[in-house]
Amino acid sequence: MLSTLSASGPSGRRTVNYIAAKNVKLSFAAQPTGARWTPRGMLIGPKEIQINPKQEASTKEARDAWSISLIAHEARHYKQGLFTALSVYGELEAWQLQMKVLRDLGVPPKNKQLLAIEKMKLSHDPKVLREAARLMKQYDPNYRINLLPLNPLFFGIKDHGFCMGSLC
């Protein structure tokens, strides 16, 4: 599956290089989503991307472009770090990467919400992020994007004269 991701294009190759460099573990675990990063992996390691076991056979055989693209999505969250990953901005960036990988795998998104998300300008603008969250929720009504802040926690603190150690 990683060879398929790597062969999909520059975004896939960068993802596989990141996974190899950071020793990100891929596993299959029961969950309501297609894949996820683990908070334990973000905080203390090792980094781990868990894929829904319903997709295990097709993912291992590299027949499931969606699951392969989800690996890129979740790896991006590790690269972003905890505060960005837990924001609408972080999700927008990861969703856009996933759409790029799907295209590179020859399975472009067809859903109108996914197409709209793919075309959005990645921005910290609250108006853009609210629209991204709305589209994500439309695409998946069970998606809990509404629980996340629009921008990463501490975003803009430096610009407002506040400083919190290494965050500035």
Tell me the pLDDT tens digit for each residue of 95-131.
999 999 999 999 999 999 999 999 999 999 999 999 9
Give 44's Cβ-side CA count (13 Å radius). 1
DSSP 148: S
Tell me the pLDDT tens digit for each residue of 44-65.
888 989 888 877 776 666 678 9
**Rounded CA separation 162/168 (Å):** 8
> Considering the chain, what is the average pLDDT of its residues?
88
The confidence score (pLDDT) of residue 1 equals 80
**Rounded CA separation 62/56 (Å):** 10
Nearest to 28 by CA among 77, 4, 64, 3: 64
The confidence score (pLDDT) of residue 158 equals 54
Nearest to 14 by CA among 82, 85, 78: 78
The confidence score (pLDDT) of residue 45 equals 84
Mean pLDDT (whole number) for 19-40: 86
Does residue 160 surpass a pLDDT of 60? no
SS3 26: strand
Q: Do 33 and 12 form a contact (C-beta atoms < 8 A)?
A: no
